Chain A
Amino acid sequence: MKTSKWITLSLVFIVLISMLGACSSGNNGSGGNKTEGGQTAGTDKPSAPVKLMMWGGVPPESGPQAVVDAWNKEHPEIQVEYVRFVNDDDGNLKLDTALLTGQNVDLFVNYTLTQTQKRIDAGVALDLSAFTDYNILEKMGSNAEGWQVNGKFYGVPTTRSAFFVALNKDALDAAGLPVPKDWTWEQAREYAKTLKPATGYGMVQHLEPFLDPIDAALTKEGYVKADGTSNLDSPSVKKWLETLGGMMTLDQTTPPLGEQITSKIPVENVFLAGESPMLNIGAWLLRSSNNFTDFPRDFKIAFAPVPRLVENQADYIPRGGLGDYISINAKSSYTKEAWEFLKWYADGGMAPMAAGGRLPASNAADQDEMVANLLGDKGDTYDKESLMYVLFEDETPTHVRELPQEVTDLITQEYEKFFLGNQNADQTTANMVKRHNEYLKQAK
């Protein structure tokens, strides 16, 4: 009797001790890494290479791994490792948690100013004005200004982030329509009507830039009126609602939003299969359109700028400019090494990313070579002239998205109700204004 009890008791102890052991060894493991790192920085072991961790949202096989491999070969003393986070709510939460809890993140990529702002507030994005050997504005051009916060750079915008309407050139030629260089949503609507195939839609839109027409108009007009209340009842918003609503129901030239959301229409596939001649999307289309094994196609792709809501070009600031804003973790022990890598990356080290649609923004990178990288051996299947226009020649000033997530969501929820026919345009803008005012009061 007694012995058996002692056996149980000792078993419990063994379990407990092994658990505690596991805990403490875990602690030692992570803590150990850190101190080791600190020591190497303190130069008493110069032979060990510095290890940098870079977090980005692009899958490693779409370029980042090739970039990092190329760097690691040239720089044995600084080794970079790429970690992918999925660029959605959960992925950004993971990155933010890693940044705040001091896990190993030395460099990280921001995709919107909304996210960057939070990271600047938290003090994890390093103010780059301390580094004077690289003039970001000079290298990247005036479009980089959109990424300045209080006149300072907390990261380097590295890519040209083009948003455009991809066009089926063959369908356009057959209908005798030119590739537009400057157009309005009314014109786009006419194009969609003319080009509408027997079955299918004249135009499909990716949901990521879906909201951009409003954002572009209100970036110019201002989201807030002079009296501090919401400007979401601007005529531009109503015009957008009515134009698209007409295309969905009256013309049936674009998918009704309800159908698009619930059946998650894969718009890239629809466009590349030739089922729809126009696609409102961004540079990431090239990741798919260069891939002929999964997306075989027999037509040429031309590119047009995203249409405007307003008549006058000067009243409109489309989205675009520069993207992939790479920041250095202010808490990193290797900010200098990270900066060296970042400069190299921006000035052409990122070349392998081009095949995925990410062109370097820096003027130090060779433009022709980059376009060659971008198109690979598929150059003949694109209309080069219009591509060059949307990527390089179009000099319209652009903005980067910095709308707070709450506002994006409230606009989205209200326009969904409109496109589903639950409320008319006036009710929609009135609701948007009401909720935006509430938000403004709250965020103050």
Chain B
Amino acid sequence: MKRNWMKRQQLLGYLFIGPNMLGVVLFFILPAIYSLYLVFTDYKFMAPKMSFIGLDNVKRLLRDEIFYVSLQNTVVFLLAVPISIGLAFLVALALNRKLFFKKTLRALYFMPYITSGVAVAFVWMLLFHPKQGPINAILTSLGVSNPPGWLSTTEYSMLAIDIIWIWFMLGYNMIIYLAALQEISGELLEAAKIDGAKPYQVTYKIVWPLVSPTTFLLMITGLIMTIKTFGIIQAITQGGPGNSTMILSLFVYKNAFRYYEMGYAATISWALFFIIMLITLVQWWGQKRWVHY
């Protein structure tokens, strides 16, 4: 009787996840396997036939200088994640205190995250305008004689994208940190104070270790999300000027949907997958040293 009940429970469980699993298998797992097959072909969208070409795509990738440029830019782009997390932690600390307009400020910080990416892109393009943009106006009034050309130069364009991305992720990171800060029991903080800890010591020795699982979570999800993003760059610079903002995900997009080079695009996607995998594994391994549950 009991086993029967269990069985029925299991069946019910499967029924519940069934519709979703169907979607995952059809639209994710099968295409993923198929894309692995494409790596070994020269399949081009619209081309009449495709043939098996072994490892030629991989060889081509390793020879492709744009791949290395994109890889480098991707690393620079990923730097935005820890910076954004660090800033979010500070903002969350501030907003966790008694403060006027606390709720309004929280909402304001979260706004970017729920704003349409294209709108965000256009506003930032105006802000970064080398001649009429407010950012350079401020820099000039602060005494910077030769403010950078931001998106119109190859040297500063990736930095500009990073700034946008830090700003974009800040709100989300901050909300998660706020939740984590409210979990911290007041007793611990009081005990530290009674023992004579100074505020920065409380923050560094008590609060930061206590929210470390949150930091770890934000780090992993942030890096994965960032490495997959290309929409905002496509909207602002399309990878230019030159190749200065070409990142791997955009490189995949261009090869697949601009050049119709599906086999090659699949190869880059798998390279991207291994990079994400590697980063995540390194973090799992590294977390033992600094994450405290």
Contact = CB atoms under 8 A, between A and B. Distances in A.
Interface of A: 5, 8-9, 12-13, 15-16, 19, 89-90, 93, 96, 100, 118-119, 121-123, 256-259, 261-264, 405-406, 409, 412-414, 416-417, 420, 422, 435, 438, 442
Interface in B54-100: 60, 63-65
Nearest to B9: A5
Given A19-B19, A413-B242, A122 B125 contact: no
Contacts of A93: 257
Interface in B9-39: 12, 15-16, 18-19
B46 A420 contact: no
Nearest to A93: B257
A9 B19 contact: no
A416 B241 contact: yes
B153 A420 contact: yes
B45 A96 contact: yes
Given A96-B46, A121-B48, A262 B151 contact: yes
A438 B19 CA distance: 47
A422 B241 CA distance: 10
Nearest to A422: B154
Contact of B242 (A9, A19, A89, A416): A416
Given A119-B46, A420-B152, A262 B259 contact: no
B19 A118 contact: no
A16 B12 CA distance: 13
Interface centre among A12, A100, A264 (most CB of B within 10 A): A12
Contacts of A413: 240, 242-243
Contacts, number: 90
Interface residues of B, number: 36
B130 A259 contact: yes
Interface of B: 8, 12, 15-16, 18-19, 45-48, 60, 63-65, 125, 128-132, 149-154, 237, 240-243, 254, 257-260
A102 B65 CA distance: 38
B164 to A, nearest CB: 13
A12 B15 contact: yes
B46 A118 contact: yes
B19 A258 contact: no
Q: A-B pairs with the 8 shortest C-beta distances? A: A258-B152, A417-B242, A122-B46, A262-B152, A262-B151, A118-B46, A416-B241, A12-B15
A422 B152 contact: no
A417 B154 contact: yes
Nearest to B125: A262
Contacts of B125: 262-264
B257 A100 contact: no
B139 to A, nearest CB: 16
8 contacts: A16-B19, A90-B257, A96-B46, A261-B152, A263-B132, A417-B241, A420-B242, A442-B60
Contacts of B260: 96, 118
A248 B242 CA distance: 17
A335 B182 CA distance: 69
A405 B260 CA distance: 10
A405 B254 CA distance: 10
Nearest to A256: B152
Contacts of A5: 8, 12
B128 A121 contact: no
A89 B154 contact: no
B169 to A, nearest CB: 23
Contacts of A9: 12, 15
Contacts of A261: 152, 237, 240-241
B46 A258 contact: no
A416 B254 CA distance: 18
Nearest to B239: A413
Contact of A121 (B46, B129, B241, B258): B46
Nearest to B260: A118
A191 B230 CA distance: 42
Contacts of B12: 5, 8-9, 12
A263 B242 CA distance: 16
A13 B16 CA distance: 10
B62 to A, nearest CB: 13
Contacts of A256: 152
Given A121-B47, A258-B153, A262-B152, A16 B128 contact: no
Contacts of B258: 89, 405, 409
B26 to A, nearest CB: 11
B129 A262 contact: yes
Contacts of A259: 130-131, 152
A121 B44 CA distance: 11
A258 B254 CA distance: 21
Interface centre among A90, A119, A264, A417 (most CB of B within 10 A): A417
Contacts of A405: 258-259
Contacts of A119: 46
Given A12-B16, A16-B19, A417-B241, A122 B47 contact: yes
Given A89-B257, A416-B240, A420-B152, A262 B48 contact: no
